[in-house]
Structures are given as C-alpha cells and as structure tokens.
Structure 1
C-alpha cells in the first residue's frame, strides 16, 4: 500500500485573520462587562505562594516565619526604646548636668588640695579657690531645684494639652492651639488693616463675633476691618446680593473670586466679578488707603479666617494681578497647609501677612452656649454637630475625619429644606428620590451612592464610610451645589452690630462706593440707613 503524502498544516491567512478578529472582539466585550460590573475587584495581583512540588518548600516557609518574627521583635524593641527615651530624656539630661557639676567640684577640690595648707589657713575670704568651690556647689543646688520645678510644670502642662486636644476639633500637626492663638494675636497687633476672609456658601458659619470685637478694640479702635466674601462663584447672584446687603450692615464687604474652581465644579457666572476684576478692585482699595494714610511706613494688611476659606489664595490673587504666575503662598485643597506666619511685600506702601487657619468660635456656636450648659445630656450631640459643621467647611483634614456620616446628614438637612436643592444633589449622582421607612434618609442615600460609584466591599456590601467621604469631597470641590440662606430682614447680625457710621466712614477711606454699580450701592445704603 502506498503511503500518501503528508498534508500541510498551514492555516489560510483569511482564517487566521478571522480568528484574531474574533478573539479581539471577545476580549473587548469581556473588558466592557468588567467595567459595568459593580463588584469591587482589586487590580493588585495576589502572591501565588510557593509551589507544592518545590523541593525545599518547608525550609523556605520556616525562613519566612523566622524573618517575620524577627521583624516583629525588632519593631517592639524600637517602640520600647523610643518610649524609654521619651520618658527618660529629662532624667538623663539632669543626670548629665549633675555629673558635670560633680566633676567640676572634684577638680576644684583637687586644685585646692594641691595649693597646700597655706591657702586653706587664710580663710574663705582670702581663698579664691574655696569661694569658687562654694559657688559651684550653690549652682548645683539651684539647678536641682529648677529641675524639680520643671518636672512639675511639665506634668501640669501635659494635663492642659490633653484637655485642649479633647475640646479642639481642628487638625494640629506640629503646632498647638496655643501657638495658633499667639500667631493670631501677633497678626492683629502688627496689622493696620485686617481682611477677614469668609466662605460665601456659609458666611455666618465662618464668622466670629469675638474676633471682630478684638479687632475693633485693638489699638484704641484705629485698625480697619474688611470682610472678604470669597468663593462667590459657588452661589447664585440673588444669594450673593442678599449676603452683601446683610454683611455691609456691620463692616465694609468686598466680593472676591480668588482662584479658579476645581474640575467638574458647578459654578455661577457673575459677569464682571472675575478673578482679575475682583482682585484688582481689592488691590486698588488697599492702595487708596495706603496713600491716604499719614504713616511714613508701609501699611500692613493681615489676612485671617477659618482653615481653607482661601486666605493664601487671596494673597496670591493680589500678587499675580499683573500676570505673574508665581505663587507667593502655598495653597492646597486640604486644611492646614499654612502653619506659620508668612510676610509678602507688595511694594513700598503695602505689605501682606498670611496666617494659619484657626477655628474661631462662630456666632452659631457661641449663641448656643447657654443651651449646652442647661442641657448637659445633649453635649455629645452638640459636639458631633459642631464637628460635622467643621467638616463641611473643610476645616478638618481628610485623615482626621473619623466618621463623615454626621456631615452628610447635616448636608442633607440643609439641601432638603428646598426641593430644588435636593433634586440637584440627586442629579449629581443620578439617584432616584430617597425612600426610607424609619426616616433615616442618610443611610439610603449613602447606600445608593456607594453602588453608583463602586464603593463596595467584599460580597458587594456597600462601604458607607467611603461613600460618605465621596460626598464630602464632592462638596468641598463644588461639584455639589449648596449654600446657607442669608438672614431675613429684621434678624440680628452675627457681627458686632449695626454700624452705619463705621460702614460709611470706612467705605470712603477705601473708596468702595460705586465699584459694582450705583444701583447696588444705593440699595445697600438705603438698607444701612433703616
């Protein structure tokens, strides 16, 4: 039988291309389905471990366990060493100083013995070495008394720090609240004009009546205070006009757009109130006051306010008004970027001082002190509400936020006062109307946000904490629209009171009249005269 010729295994080009296209289409569909799948999958590849067929697997596992044990032991040893160093630092320093003094005493005694009996017989008055020895012993005794007093002071001060840590919500990195208060007083004392920067979305929440009183009473009332309403692009024009009308009853107020918003922020266009226009207006007002003042030196302008209201951005807007892209002060989306005073010189007539953000007692919190004292049972609720308010003001760093749910609850309460505000919030995340049987809309809202944004844990369980941080971050960036309504006519102001004469006089000094239209100024003056 004749064996046939072996057939070729060559694949036709048409069939090979068909297989490649089908494979590419299948992979594309798999990737698309994976993106639509809401279940969270980590992109980090897991360690496959040591294969069972590896000849020395047991030995390698023992070496790995031994290495882990040694690392843990080394870590514990370092912790104990650091703890011992912290506790024994003062004791070691005192022992070292005492040893030095004892060494000096021994040297002096040796010198005295070597000098002979003649110098000893002369008496203490005629013996300089004996007098020096007595002085050294007196210094040693005095040092021991000071060291014991310092230890007592440190124990007392540590207790005060613990109390401040419990009562203070603002983040503290390297500086304490006492240092921030000292910096604030330094700014007030050295400034001729104080710019009080407020958040346009919640001006009363970022104001402090006590701060305004301190500025007005400093230097016999010779200092000038101007309220700067920043982030005006995040509120509509009617709300902006109402807030300006309300704030100008107490102090001259300037609207300002210090910087451009973040990506995907939902902003409002106020026509002439641009970054360049508002910064140039504020700069001209300060220069007018500087030229009109009789001082032979440059006037100092201090910038104060809550953390992350835009104090450094205000200074950068003033320094970059001529197209200079260099920033004089560092800025960031988190609170606590500015930790110390920073002086920026504009020219020979104007100097600016940037200060760290301090959480002052606001008007809303100070007005509720009596209620808190009368109802101690609600103290924890009041503390949680104040912390939620600070989180919405971006006065707390993200790593310091333990629970964002109270802040989301407060945000839903604010936006839920109007149907339009709640609908805008739901449209941002593409959610249906909230439904809740027990009245807890926050949980239902966060569960839906977690499913929409893929904030899911193992088994597809919604991560409420991650969803809450997502909502808070969107609120900080302006992607969620919302604001506090200004007080109605007749309600008391959160400032020091109605000051018609102060507003008129200071507005003339800075020439703030007619900067944004005569109609608005006349309307404001009519409201002030009422």
Structure 2
C-alpha cells in the first residue's frame, strides 16, 4: 500500500487508529501518518499492541509519555487483552468510520479481526449505496461504528534495526544481524538462552539455528544462513524472542 492509498482511505474515515508495537513504540510510530491525520482534521487514537510482551511498568511509562499527544489504548490482540476497552473507546466517536493503520508486523490485521468479531456485517460494495467506501470494504462492528477492512500498511522506512521492527524488506541475513546486535545490547543473554549459543554474534546465532534446523546446502555442505535468518526474524515478530525499549523520560 502506498501513501496515496492511505490518503484515499483516510478521506473516508473519521478516526485513524494507529497500531504500534509496545516493545518499540517510538520506532513503530509514524510521524508522517500522525501529521496527515491532524492536517485533515481527523481523530487519531493509538493502539499499543503486543502489550503482553512488556512489563506493566514499562507499558505504563510509554502510555504516560504518548498520551500527552494522543489517546492511547494498550492491547494484545493475540491474547485478547484490552480489546473490549478499545471497542468501547472507539464508540466515543460513533457514528464513525475507523481506518486502522501502521507499519507491517505490528498486528493491524489481528486487531481488525478482533474488532470485526463473528457478528460483523459487510456493507455494500456498490458505489453510492449505503456503506460503500471507494475501493475498500467497510464492516459494521456495531451500530454506528464501522472499520475499513483494508489495513493501512505504512511503507517501511529506515535502516538497520529500525527496518527490522518496521517490517522492511532487505537482505535477510543483514536484517537478522541487526536484530542480533541490538538484542545482545538491550537484553544480554536472551539469544544464548533461546538458541543455546555460547556467543551472541550474528554468525554464531545464525549458524546454531541452521545446524539445529538442518538448513544445509546439499551441494556444498555449507550452512544456509538465509533460512536461519528467516526463522530468527519470525521468532521475533511472533514474540517468541522478545525484548523492549524503555522511554528516556518517565514521570
């Protein structure tokens, strides 16, 4: 999805729900999206997803900091924590259409599915008919409240660890290496415990994963580090290995 697609969807929305990762709120916030929302006079609410992956006091510090700018609702779509509170919060803007946006891998689709639930109803796909949204499908999640069923995927930007957190597309080994180096600084010992390695270096960690999973090129007998990198990144996105950042300024 391009920024133009997000703009089109935003034209149809009353509220923009920006989904961020509770482990890395600053990295997964999009200042460009927030600026666009303000300029268009839309309401912006931040859903701090994956809150189950950080200690409560850390989550509270981030909420305190971000809520100075925008309303924040902590949730875990995966564990269904805070999702009813999020629904009730969005009802404050009813009648309203909500666009859910954020970088890849922050859990937008999971939040859409939680909000839709089993009893949501698709609106008409016919132009100029009730519930029609240009190029998108709207779902009525309850009376007066709709969500656009097309997650606003913000184009990933940045490099190194930022690109990893934002779901960027780059060389898998390079991305995994950035993840390993950052994890070893922020949470020493995490990768040793997770993968049974003696040293938390990119080569050591990826080689250990490749050997354990049998990722070996048959023709040369060399380890397939790209496949190992893919496993590591997926473990990170799913929260199997998890670490977090703490805000610099706290109350």
TM-score calculated relative to the size of structure 2? 0.82
Quickly say closer, same or farther: Cα 1:191–1:476, change in 2 above 3 A.
same
Of 55, 67, 77 in structure 2, the residue corresponding to residue 248 of structure 1 is: 67
In structure 2, the partner of 1:45 is none
Aligned: 1:348 with 2:143:
yes
RMSD (CA atoms): 2.6
Residue 305 (structure 1) aligned to one of 98, 102, 106: 102
Aligned-partner SS, 1:289: coil
Instruction: Work out which of the residue numbers 389, 406, 409 in structure 1 matches 2:174.
Output: 406
CA gap of 1:447–1:286, structure 2 versus 1, over 3 A, is closer
Runs (5+) with no aligned partner, structure 1: 1-176, 261-274, 291-297, 329-339, 366-384, 435-440, 491-526
**1:287 corresponds to 2:84:** no
Choose which of 162, 176, 200 in structure 1 pairs with 2:22: 200
Q: Which has the higher strand share?
A: 2
* Counterparts in 2 of 1:194 and 1:344: CA distance versus 1, 3 Å: same
SS in 2 for 1:259: coil
Task: Tell me whether 1:431 sits opposite 2:191 in the alignment.
Answer: no
d(CA) in 1 for partners of 2:121 and 2:164?
27
**Counterpart mapping for 1:222-261 below 5 A:** 223-260=42-79
Q: Is the 8 A contact 1:230 1:258 kept in 2?
A: yes
Q: Give the structure, 1 or 2, with the largest relative contact order (CA under 8 Å, sep 6 or more).
A: 2
Aligned to 1:168: none
Deviation of 1:447 after TM superposition, in Å, equals: 2.0
Bigger Rg over Cα: 1
Seen in structure 2, the aligned counterparts of structure 1 residues 442 and 308 have a Cα distance that, compared at 3 Å, is closer
Paired residue secondary structure (2:216): coil
Shift, 1:461, TM fit:
2.4
Matches of 1:463 and 1:416, distance apart in 2: 22
Partner of 1:469: 230
Structure-2 separation of matches of 1:416 and 1:251: 32
Pair 210,446 (structure 1): closer, same or farther in 2 beyond 3 Å: same
> Which residue is equivalent to 1:187?
9
**CA positional deviation for 1:487:** 2.9
- In structure 2, what is the equivalent of residue 62 of structure 1? none
Runs of 5+ in structure 2 lacking a partner?
123-134
* TM-score (normalised: structure 1): 0.41
Contact residue 77 and residue 83 of structure 2 kept, 8 A: yes
Summarize the Cα distance change of 1:409–1:244 in structure 2 as closer, same or farther, 3 Å threshold.
Answer: same
**Is the CA contact 2:156–2:163 (under 8 Å) kept in the aligned structure 1?**
no
Change (3 A) 1:361 1:470: closer
